[in-house]
Structure 1
Amino acid sequence: MPETALAHAVYGERWSITDQLLALIFDVLQLGNWQRARKRTAPKPKPLVRPWQRKKTTSLGRDAIPISQFDDWWESKKRK
């Protein structure tokens, strides 16, 4: 069932056909307005981000740790 909490957690947000068409209309209108403005310095509009286009990445920490710190951590886990 696509409306369950599990489906939402696994697959993300679901858009109906109406939602997808409205997003497409929004993108086309933005692009048309940008074209009619004829400003060379104006940045091209970005399309509306769809839920299935979002990157699902998890970042753990910033950098690698030195091996000596890892060894200390690893040994402390063995003792427990």
Structure 2
Amino acid sequence: MLVIGTFRVNAMEDGSFLLWFSIFLSQFFLWSTIFTSQQQQQLLQQQQADLLLQQQQEEQRRQQQQADLLLQQQQTNLLLQQQQ
């Protein structure tokens, strides 16, 4: 006796075993496709987050380099003023 939802089917007696087996296979492939799709979507989202983080880190590094350069220029100007 095969129980699917509220239906009770004796698959061997009424010859519908192949029908129920094909329904099972189609459901299996449907859910495996959905699962795979979700995994791919999560991977894409992670890659996008990684890229955004990398861009933010590069921007912070660029801003830090600009700040360091400005500080160096200010220190140089201060030294020149002290030497005059």
TM-score (norm 1): 0.33
The structure whose RCO (Cα within 8 Å, separation 6+) is larger is: 1
**TM-score, normalised to structure 2's length?**
0.31
Name the structure where helix makes up a greater proportion of residues: 2
Higher strand share: 2
